[in-house]
Amino acid sequence: MRINHNISAKLANVNLKRADTRTGSSLERLSSGYKINKASDDSSGMAISNRMRAQINALDQASRNAEDSQCIIQTAEGALSEIEALIQRMRELSVQAANDVYTIEDRDAAQKEINNLMNEVDRIASTTEFNGHGLLDGSLTRVVTYSENGFSSLSVSDQVKSGVYQVTVNSTATPATDTISYTIPAEGTNTISINGADITIEATDNDATVKQKVVDVCDKLGINVADNGGNSFTLTTDANGESQFIQVQEAGQPPKAIVRGQNADVTAGSGFSAPTCVYDGNNVTILDDSGFKMQFAIEDSAPINTAVNVTVYDTGSMLAQIGANEHQDIAIDFMEVSCRTLKFKESDGTNLLNVCSQEGAGRAISIFDEAIRSVSSARTTLGAYQNRLDSTMSSLDVTVENLTDAMSRIRDTDMAAEMTDYTQMSVLSQAATSMLAQANNRPQQVMSLLQS
């Protein structure tokens, strides 16, 4: 028996400290619900779980991003739906105007409604926004630039790759031009006709009143009038191209041959593969069998016989971040929907649609048919984006669920197992406390021995 060193008490104290430490750790795990509360609990486990937590947070945000992107697409699709309804109404008016039972005044009423509907198309396209981003005004389409002035882009298909393409303008589009003469009758009336619209010249008219009658009719037909003097006028269509026509019939004469404008003409150079060029006035479409389709408008100021570089960039798309890491995104393209890109107007605002003649109404029907196809295609593309984002959100949610489960296994407390450990440590702590008290009493036994 020793009195300088109470080894039994020291051993009991060591065991008590161990039991208290483990009891405290167990209490911390039970109260927080986490198995790892500090790096010393499991340094590698903490590092792994923190990386998992960062990934889970990012995936949650990516899912919200996808949902926001769907809201953007729904906004654009709703606007396109309204635009398509407007085009349907304009087509209906064109079909009505194509019926020859209507007079030019009747057709002019239809034209005025069409003009207002076209203005509404442009208004919707320019004001459809989401969080300050214009969706249908062309700001989110692919960017096309030209090395010379006098060009404006209409559209490029997805098959048009980024790069430089070369075109040469051989000629720009020209309007239809013709002349018409008249005679003021000594008595009664004479009738002249422009594009099927009759103008009655009475004996009481003079040159000024005749000109005003011609101007009034030509304004409805989209034709400019220049007075040549000598009872003659020069008529020129507002717009350019073969679709623009003038047919006049002078008093007592059969109708003259139809005079038409001329389409632009270009040569597709480097960058194109077996291209086909299609012309419609100032508008040029270059396409091939692979789905490649580039549309642009040529202005009168465009240089002739000069090679022009057309550069296509992929910077116009809206990128939706749908993943937790860099470059995990999708590009969402929005079609520019304006009267210019739908070929209702030229780039300078000149109206290409005029239903005040039977032929003009027939051409308008064809243009509206193409516009409906374009808008429907844009809506279909947006619908495909929405379906893709639906799948993306489902995939992200499943990934978050699985990652959360894996992180939980590393970081969260198993309450049943931990409660078992806590109970064990509590019993050991109480036992160690009791044994420490017993060990501290052993020196008293030495005193009893010395006293005896």
By the 8 A CB rule, do 310 and 164 touch? yes
Q: What is the pLDDT of residue 108?
A: 94
Cα separation values, 40 from 18, 37, 47, Å? 16, 8, 11
CB atoms within 10 A of CB 60: 15
CA separation for the pair 352, 360 (Å, rounded): 9
- The three-state secondary structure class of 111 is helix
Q: What is the pLDDT of residue 10?
A: 77
By the 8 A CB rule, do 97 and 363 touch? no
Pairing mode of beta strands 318-321, 307-313: unpaired
The residues that bridge with 166 in the sheet, in sequence order, are 309
DSSP-assigned states of every residue in 156-175: E-TTS-SEEEEEEEEE--B-
Tokens of 196: 């099927």
How open is the CA angle 314-320-323, to the nearest 5 degrees?
120
DSSP-assigned states of every residue in 34-98: BS-SSGGG-HHHHHHHHHHHHHHHHHHHHHHHHHHHHHHHHHHHHHHHHHHHHHHHHHHHHHHHT
Helix (H) or strand (E) holding 112: helix 104-127
User: At a CB cut-off of 8 Å and minimum separation 6, what does 196 contact?
Assistant: 100, 104, 247, 357, 358
By the 8 A CB rule, do 167 and 268 touch? yes
Name residue 196's amino acid: G
Q: What domains sit in the chain, N to C, each tagged with a CATH number?
A: 34-140+321-412 (1.20.1330.10), 177-260 (no CATH)
Q: At what angle do helices 415-451 and 7-32 cross, to 10 degrees?
A: 160
By the 8 A CB rule, do 180 and 248 touch? yes
Scanning 311-414, the segments in alpha helix (DSSP H) are 358-411
Q: What is the pLDDT of residue 156?
A: 85
Predicted confidence pLDDT, tens digits, the chain (452 residues) = 565 666 777 787 777 778 777 777 777 777 777 777 777 777 888 888 889 999 999 999 999 999 999 999 999 999 999 999 999 999 999 999 999 899 999 999 999 999 999 999 999 999 999 988 889 988 777 788 999 999 988 888 878 888 999 999 999 999 999 999 999 998 999 999 999 999 999 999 999 999 999 999 999 999 999 999 889 999 999 999 999 999 999 988 999 999 999 999 999 998 888 899 999 999 999 998 888 989 999 988 899 999 999 998 876 678 899 999 988 899 888 888 999 999 999 877 888 899 999 999 999 999 999 999 999 999 999 999 999 999 999 999 999 999 999 988 887 777 777 788 778 777 777 777 777 777 777 666 666 766 75
Q: What is the pLDDT of residue 109?
A: 95
Q: What is the pTM of this model?
A: 0.75
- The three-state secondary structure class of 345 is strand
Tokens of 166: 């070369």
Return phi, psi of residue 444, to 5°.
-65, -30
The residue among 137, 116, 135, 118 whose CA lies nearest residue 126 is 137
CA separation for the pair 337, 133 (Å, rounded): 15
CA separation for the pair 202, 48 (Å, rounded): 97
Length of the chain: 452
CB atoms within 10 A of CB 268: 21
Name residue 6's amino acid: N
Return phi, psi of residue 249, to 5°.
-140, 115
